[in-house]
A and B are shown apart, each in its own frame.
Chain A
């Protein structure tokens, strides 16, 4: 409850400030933002844009997480593979995902494909790095227990490596999900004419600060809800083991 005091105060200040300042092309009082928000819900534009962004974000997250997870597990299990792929990974990883846009645009054109590809590129890295560390970091004593019990390689992965690495891999997935939303909106703002990012650009250029701010706040709410949902899932799945 105390956490809400400061935001409420700031909103009240913004309201007073914006009203004293008079009508404006760049700023709107919170009351008008709320009205604009209601309008965007009623005419369906908010839901449509949210749907487009989430499809691209989840599509890219799924593709990127699967590639990153597979690579990370393989690199964590095999020292040879890790050494062979170390250089390519370290060269590709620092490339900002936005910098991939021009190339992806030539290959894929506008649309979901472009956005999914770039989000996937951004999501591969956190998954790869965390999964590799999680697998390589499995308690060596547990692997020795597996040896002493003569577990098959498959049983060792299924009964020991996977459950030991899963909590950290899930943390990576949660971080990647945050990255996915940010990158999706970024691609929409930069080039892709769809989703929440494109809406932000359009209303900004149309000098509608009320709608722009409404969408901006909504992007924050979506990101917050996503993270909270995943945190809740994490606590449910792995909460019992500290």
Chain B
């Protein structure tokens, strides 16, 4: 038996009579980066919410670290897609990170040091007194990631975290995330609709088919780490994987019509 950290066993989820997840089964090894891709509405966010304990499956079982997922856990952090809505607009960057430290019961006198270190880690050093409303989208998403890291998570659930950012910022954040993953050893479930992003970041990519959401393809990404925005993306292995995933996704979309 492999010691997996996240397990989905035939997870089904229906909203009313709409079956959104139609029997998902997969496992993640500790420290693995697994990317979920698939057309819009295929259930990527729903699957991530099940893994985060924000919604319970209708049937089947989802378990984390060997125990059934019964609700949110402090060692599983969620990076929401809509970062602007997920931050407290009345708290500064430092205050937003502090929210997670308060939640985990970090003593008051230890907070300033931890906040500074966390902001530094996501590239927000010196921005601690800015309010989210004074920050760019990229900075806001960095801040949300810092707050998630403040929980000291064993796993990060990231829902299209860079989808709304411009290409340059997105690449910066991708590399920063990989560096954080390397340094912390966190397990990362990463939802994206960007196939190249999935291959660039992932150890493995799962492509979902829609109506109901189920696994259509699973690709192991054997590209060497650390990855490089230019060299990795130009490598023949990367291009071959991209082709494979692209054919699957566009085949699935064609059939869905």
**Which residues in A have some Cβ–Cβ distance to B below 8 Å?**
139, 141-142, 144-145, 147-151, 155, 159-160, 163-164, 238, 240-242
In the complex, which residues of chain B have a beta carbon less than 8 angstroms from the beta carbon of A241?
89-90, 131, 133
B103 at the interface (CB under 8 A from A): yes
> Which residue of A is nearest B96, CB measured?
A145
Establish whether residues A163 and B90, one from each chain, have CB atoms under 8 Å apart when the complex forms: yes
Minimum distance in angstroms from A84 CB to a CB of chain B: 26
* Known contacts A147-B54, A150-B72; is-contact A141 B90 (Cβ 8 Å): no
A and B contact pairs by CB, cutoff 8 A, 5 listed: A141-B86, A149-B72, A155-B102, A155-B103, A240-B131
B88 at the interface (CB under 8 A from A): yes
In the complex, which residues of chain A have a beta carbon less than 8 angstroms from the beta carbon of B52?
148
Establish whether residues A145 and B90, one from each chain, have CB atoms under 8 Å apart when the complex forms: no
Minimum distance in angstroms from A140 CB to a CB of chain B: 8
Establish whether residues A149 and B74, one from each chain, have CB atoms under 8 Å apart when the complex forms: yes
Minimum distance in angstroms from A42 CB to a CB of chain B: 48
B46 at the interface (CB under 8 A from A): no
Establish whether residues A144 and B54, one from each chain, have CB atoms under 8 Å apart when the complex forms: yes
Establish whether residues B133 and A145, one from each chain, have CB atoms under 8 Å apart when the complex forms: no
Bound form: Cα–Cα A142–B86 in Å: 5
* Known contacts A241-B133, A242-B133; is-contact A147 B89 (Cβ 8 Å): no
* Known contacts A144-B80, A240-B131; is-contact A149 B86 (Cβ 8 Å): no
Establish whether residues B89 and A141, one from each chain, have CB atoms under 8 Å apart when the complex forms: no
| 0/1 interface trace, chain B 179-207, chain A, CB 8 Å (1 if under) | 00000000000000000000000000000
A-facing residues in B83-134 (Cβ within 8 Å): 85-86, 88-90, 99-100, 102-103, 131, 133
Additional A-B contact list (13), CB under 8 Å, known A148-B78, A149-B74, A159-B102: A139-B85, A141-B82, A142-B85, A142-B86, A144-B54, A144-B86, A145-B99, A147-B71, A150-B71, A150-B74, A163-B88, A240-B131, A241-B90
In the complex, which residues of chain B have a beta carbon less than 8 angstroms from the beta carbon of A155?
102-103
Establish whether residues A141 and B133, one from each chain, have CB atoms under 8 Å apart when the complex forms: no
> Which residue of B is nearest A139, CB measured?
B85
Bound form: Cα–Cα A241–B88 in Å: 10
Minimum distance in angstroms from B153 CB to a CB of chain A: 10
Minimum distance in angstroms from A151 CB to a CB of chain B: 6
Minimum distance in angstroms from A161 CB to a CB of chain B: 11
> Which residue of A is nearest B74, CB measured?
A150
A-facing residues in B49-74 (Cβ within 8 Å): 52, 54, 71-74
Establish whether residues A141 and B151, one from each chain, have CB atoms under 8 Å apart when the complex forms: no
In the complex, which residues of chain B have a beta carbon less than 8 angstroms from the beta carbon of A238?
90
Bound form: Cα–Cα A142–B88 in Å: 7
In the complex, which residues of chain A have a beta carbon less than 8 angstroms from the beta carbon of B131?
240-241
> Which residue of B is nearest A160, CB measured?
B88
In the complex, which residues of chain B have a beta carbon less than 8 angstroms from the beta carbon of A144?
54, 80, 86
> Which residue of A is nearest B104, CB measured?
A149
